[in-house]
A = this chain, B = another copy of it.
Amino acid sequence: MATADITIIGLRTGPDSHASEYIAEIQRRLAAQDKVAYQLHGMGTSLEGSADDIFALAAELHKVPFELGVPRVYTVMKLDDPADRPAQTLADKVDSVKNRL
Contacts and interface: CB of A to CB of B under 8 A. Distances in A.
Total identical chains:
4
Interface residues of A, number: 63
A100 B28 CA distance: 10
A56 interface: yes
A101 B24 contact: yes
A56 to B, nearest CB: 7
22 contacts: A3-B42, A7-B78, A9-B11, A11-B11, A24-B97, A40-B97, A42-B89, A42-B90, A43-B80, A43-B90, A44-B78, A51-B63, A62-B81, A71-B84, A72-B82, A72-B85, A73-B81, A75-B78, A75-B81, A76-B78, A77-B78, A77-B79
